[in-house]
Amino acid sequence: MSLADYAREHGLKRVGARPALLEYLAEAWKRRDFAMTMARFNSEAANARNRLGRWWTVLLPTVQALVYGLIFGVLMGSSRPDNYIPFLFTGVFLYSFISGAFGAGAGSVTGNLGLVRSLSFPRMLLPVQATIQQVFNLLPQMVLLLLTWVVFAQPITWAWLLLVPITLLMVMFSTGLALISARLTVHVQDLTKLIPFVVRIVFYTSGIFFNMERVLKHYPIALEIEKYNPIYVFVSLARGVGVAGYTTTTFMWVAAFGWAFLTLGLGIVFFWKAEERYGRED
């Protein structure tokens, strides 16, 4: 009788084997308190070292938006999008969340090796925890965004409530991104060097500070492609809801749902596939 048969006969299970997907998700769900608590503690610790503490979570994107507004606003002159300040703030705030989750996800496994090597728990909780931390930053930014809309005389409508489902879809999408970037950096550490570059490129190509329809009006094919750009979809939806002069379309909603569920599903499966690999020494 082989040792394997002997072990099975006595009801022993193989250690470190990747559980089935549903079982894996159930186990992760059981420890959701861990992800929540770790996200909270981490963001507290991150803020505690700075004098302005958690104010930075709103201060930084505001400064960013103002600088972009000043530079591109002057550069673009009369081709500036209508309602420029609310337009720009919506874009910059939402994008800083999505790119933040992508970057934080990338470091979530490689940056917590101490934890990975000493305790066994579904590793998925690490990128999820990193995304939750970004959500903590997003919430005060959303409040600030609403304030900007009010200050720049956007009419307050019931449609603003649609910001809630938009945010939810965006969080799902970003969680998927974080899961994907978490596994990728485990395989190829070099990718961490590329991430700021990728974030920049997407920033310049997703209509964060310019009006896509106006800039690409002579390039119908490019415009057609951009319609599927998830970042552009989320930002356009939020503008359509709150910034005067912009509208949402059914297509945008369908695309947002599609991207949210697709990316999250893909991210979960992609990350889970390599579960046995995290924490390896090489």
Rank residues 126 and 142 by Cβ distance to another protein and give the closer one: 126
CB of 18 to another protein, least distance (A): 10
Rank residues 74 and 282 by Cβ distance to another protein and give the closer one: 282
Rounded-to-integer distance, Cα 215 and Cα 92, Å: 18
Nearest to 140 by CA among 86, 70, 60, 67: 60
Rounded-to-integer distance, Cα 201 and Cα 190, Å: 18
CB of 190 to another protein, least distance (A): 12
CB of 97 to another protein, least distance (A): 23
Using an 8 Å Cβ cutoff, are 109 and 186 in contact?
A: yes
Rank residues 41 and 204 by Cβ distance to another protein and give the closer one: 41
Question: Position of tokens 């610790």?
Answer: 45
Rank residues 34 and 72 by Cβ distance to another protein and give the closer one: 34
CB of 112 to another protein, least distance (A): 8
Give the footprint of another protein on this chain (CB under 8 A): 1-4, 6-8, 10-17, 30-31, 33-34, 37-38, 41-42, 45-46, 112, 114-121, 125, 276-277, 279-282
Rounded-to-integer distance, Cα 71 and Cα 52, Å: 26
| CA dihedral (236, 241, 243, 247) positive or negative | positive
